[in-house]
């Protein structure tokens, strides 16, 4: 991995843009996923599905407190143990305590961005619990010791050639890029892990309030083994994952599958409603559900309820011209990248200014809004965040001073005119290309011309055009 998530934003972006293999991997994967989505949605009344999906999510978030109480009641009635975690640390403490209580040393996990959000693997590792990822993509990046770079396709930043090399190095496999062979090799390794694990951990795609059911959608069947084979099962979910009824979960499942991977539905839809009952031959003996806030109610309080409608399909990432160039790691130390990541990462943080660059990692072209299955107006949210960050004075002091100085000059036409003349004169002294555009600005503006030119001032300028137009209008009026 060439991108160092702990480096500053500019460095991360430069590292990503300088990695040809990463750019190839991103281009291949996002093009394939976009193509599959386009075909899948062409076959249905997409607008209707999006309207219905959004209505379900809006209803769920509007009635969040009462539905969470209903979910808790029904989970307990089903025999589950329910835990509430206000922060990520509280959630990891709860899960560590469960592991300690059962003497757990080995755990298996299905793909879950919420566990990435709270860095659960690290927290369990510190307690001596080895967690093995069982989703193929997650398994690959665990072997590579890298974080995921996409909400639904964690290994999207790697080419098939990179994965083949990794399997050769880590598992002693013969060189091949055949996905079936790679998958079979991973399966052979994971089978033993499923059998040996004392704890299964999953995230949750939808939590059904009326039945107290945790649903996860997968394509590999690993989710079902994680939730049913180990004696103890823990489901971790953000409180926004709730839906009222079974049919709502089914409808959202279709919206997610078509948007994420271009499938009508995913291969598996696993529903867990409680531990193994009397007379049942399989399932966990104990089932725990951890309901995580970790900044979600703060998102509501900050007026960004729309961000909680997200069903984590990843379609906005696949279509975003910025994500497609830089990939997920360039967004920094966050589980969520792309347009939705640029919104929720600062909002989930105690101090949104920590991630102040992310809302600017967007051209605001609007394609993310067009593909979102729940019609989240992401460009609007990004603009609102930029506005809030400005109010918080999150941008660097020099930037604020420059904008203030510009605003002052722009309010005084004579000063502005004089300054414009000085700038024009100064620009003539700078290196130019054959079109007369400035090819190299001096520091601190040099970053601009590192990858583009600074266009020469237009001639005639706006003032001349305006004056000429005024003359013409007067002339025609006279005529
Ligand atoms: S914002 Fe919309 S498109 Fe993006 S991941 Fe969430 S649901 Fe999917």
Q: Could you say which of 297, 326, 352 is where a domain stops?
A: 297
For residue 135, give Cα distances in angstroms to 25, 141, 219, 224, 251. 19, 10, 9, 11, 24
Does residue 252 fall inside a structural domain? yes
Alpha-carbon dihedral 384, 388, 393, 397, rounded to 10 degrees: -10
Mutate to test the pocket of ligand 1, among 238, 340, 342, 368 (most ligand atoms within 8 A of CB): 340
What percent of the chain stands above pLDDT 90?
Answer: 77
Ligand 1 pocket member 252 (CB < 6 A): no
Q: What pLDDT shows up at residue 473?
A: 62
What is the pLDDT of the chain when averaged over all its residues? Answer: 93
pLDDT (average), residues 116-124: 97
CB-CB neighbours of 80 under 10 Å: 23
- Residue 395, pLDDT > 80, answer no
Residue 309's pLDDT band, with cuts at 50, 70 and 90, is very high
In CATH, what number is assigned to the domain containing residue 236? Answer: 3.40.50
The β-bridge partners of 291 are 84, 237
Q: What pLDDT shows up at residue 175?
A: 84
Q: Name the residue with the closest Cα to ligand 1, atom 3.
A: 372
User: Torsion-angle region of residue 274: left (phi > 0), alpha (psi -120 to 50) or beta?
Assistant: left
292 and 412, same domain (yes or no): no
- Residue 356, pLDDT > 60, answer yes
Ligand 1 pocket member 119 (CB < 6 A): no
HSE of 471 in the Cβ direction (CA atoms, 13 Å)? Answer: 6
Ligand 1 pocket member 374 (CB < 6 A): yes
Tokens of 427: 């620009």
Does residue 113 fall inside a structural domain? no
Residue position matching structure tokens 């694990």:
197
Ligand 1 pocket member 311 (CB < 6 A): yes
Ligand 1 pocket member 203 (CB < 6 A): no
Better pLDDT: 467 or 135: 135
Q: What pLDDT shows up at residue 110?
A: 96
Does residue 372 fall inside a structural domain? no
Q: Name the residue with the closest Cα to ligand 1, atom 6.
A: 310
- With a CB cutoff of 8 Å and minimum separation 6, the contacts of 381 are 304, 306, 307, 343
pLDDT (average), residues 388-416: 86
Q: What pLDDT shows up at residue 479?
A: 37
Q: Closest Cα partner for 108 from 198, 216, 187?
A: 198
Q: Would you give the end-to-end CA distance of the chain in angstroms?
A: 71
91 and 207, same domain (yes or no): yes
Does residue 60 fall inside a structural domain? yes
Are residues 373 and 48 in contact, defined by beta-carbon separation less than 8 angstroms?
no
Mutate to test the pocket of ligand 1, among 30, 41, 52, 259 (most ligand atoms within 8 A of CB): 259
Expressed as residue numbers, the domain containing 212 is 9-96+203-297
- Residue 474, pLDDT > 80, answer no
Residue 428's pLDDT band, with cuts at 50, 70 and 90, is confident
Does residue 216 fall inside a structural domain? yes
Does residue 389 fall inside a structural domain? no
pLDDT (average), residues 368-377: 98
- Residue 117, pLDDT > 80, answer yes
285 and 401, same domain (yes or no): no
Q: In angstroms, rounded to a whole number, what is the distance separating the alpha carbons of residues 383 and 362?
A: 10
**Please, what is the Cα angle at 417 between 414 and 418, to 5 degrees?**
90
Mean pLDDT is lowest, of 71-80, 170-179, 278-287, 462-471, for 462-471
Q: Closest Cα partner for 171 from 140, 149, 135?
A: 140
Residue 475's pLDDT band, with cuts at 50, 70 and 90, is low
Q: What pLDDT shows up at residue 477?
A: 43
Does residue 309 fall inside a structural domain? no
Does residue 255 fall inside a structural domain? yes
Q: Name the residue with the closest Cα to ligand 1, atom 2.
A: 372
pLDDT (average), residues 10-38: 95
Ligand 1 pocket member 313 (CB < 6 A): yes
How far is ligand 1, taken at its centre, from the CA of residue 260, in Å? Answer: 9
**Are β-strands 213-218 and 199-202 bridged in parallel, bridged antiparallel, or unpaired?**
unpaired
Q: Could you say which of 297, 315, 342 is where a domain stops?
A: 297
Residue pLDDT, tens place only, 314-344: 999 999 999 999 999 999 999 999 999 999 9
Q: Closest Cα partner for 217 from 259, 254, 247?
A: 254
Please identify, by atom number, the ligand 1 atom nearest to the C-alpha of residue 371. Answer: 3
Q: Could you say which of 297, 323, 351 is where a domain stops?
A: 297
The total of structural domains in the chain comes to 2
């Amino acid at each position: 991995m060439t991108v160092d998530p702990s480096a500053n934003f500019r460095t991360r972006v430069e590292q990503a843009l300088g990695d040809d293999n990463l750019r190839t991997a991103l281009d291949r994967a996002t093009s394939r996923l976009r193509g599959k989505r386009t075909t899948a949605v062409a076959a249905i009344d997409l607008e209707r599905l999006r309207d219905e999906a959004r209505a379900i999510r809006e209803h769920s978030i509007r009635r969040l407190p009462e539905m969470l109480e209903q979910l808790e009641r029904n989970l307990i009635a089903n025999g589950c143990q329910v835990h509430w975690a206000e922060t990520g640390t509280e959630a990891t403490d709860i899960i560590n305590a469960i592991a300690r209580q059962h003497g757990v040393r080995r755990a298996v996990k299905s793909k879950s961005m919420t566990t990435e959000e709270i860095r659960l693997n690290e927290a369990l590792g510190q307690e001596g619990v080895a967690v093995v990822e069982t989703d193929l993509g997650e398994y690959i990046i665990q072997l590579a010791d890298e974080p995921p770079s996409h909400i639904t396709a964690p290994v999207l930043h790697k080419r098939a050639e990179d994965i083949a090399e990794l399997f050769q190095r880590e598992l002693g496999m013969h060189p091949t890029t055949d996905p079936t062979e790679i998958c079979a090799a991973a399966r052979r390794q994971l089978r033993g892990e499923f059998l040996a694990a004392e704890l299964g951990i999953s995230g949750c795609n939808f939590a059904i309030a009326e039945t107290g059911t945790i649903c996860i959608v997968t394509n590999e069947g690993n989710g079902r083994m994680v939730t049913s084979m180990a004696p103890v099962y823990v489901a971790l979910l953000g409180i926004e994952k709730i839906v009222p009824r079974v049919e709502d979960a089914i409808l959202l499942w279709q919206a997610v599958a078509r948007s994420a991977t271009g499938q009508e539905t995913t291969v598996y839809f696993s529903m867990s409603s409680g531990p193994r009952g009397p007379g049942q031959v399989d399932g966990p003996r104990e089932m725990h559900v951890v309901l995580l806030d970790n900044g979600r109610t703060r998102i509501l309080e900050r007026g960004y309820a729309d961000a909680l409608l997200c069903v984590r399909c990843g379609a906005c990432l696949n279509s975003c011209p910025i994500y497609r160039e830089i990939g997920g790691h360039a967004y920094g130390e966050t589980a969520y990248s792309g347009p939705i990541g640029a919104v929720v990462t600062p909002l989930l943080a105690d101090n949104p200014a920590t991630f102040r660059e992310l809302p600017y990692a967007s051209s605001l072209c609007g394609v993310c809004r067009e593909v979102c299955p729940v019609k989240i107006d992401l460009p609007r949210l990004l603009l609102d965040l930029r506005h809030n960050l400005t109010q918080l004075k999150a941008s660097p002091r020099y930037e604020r001073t420059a904008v203030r100085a510009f605003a002052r000059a722009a309010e005084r036409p004579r000063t502005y005119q004089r300054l414009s003349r000085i700038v024009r004169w100064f620009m003539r002294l700078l290196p130019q290309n054959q079109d007369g555009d400035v090819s190299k600005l001096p520091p601190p503006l040099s970053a601009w011309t590192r990858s583009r030119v600074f266009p020469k001032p237009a001639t005639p300028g706006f003032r001349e055009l305006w004056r000429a137009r005024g003359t013409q209008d007067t002339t025609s009026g006279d005529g």
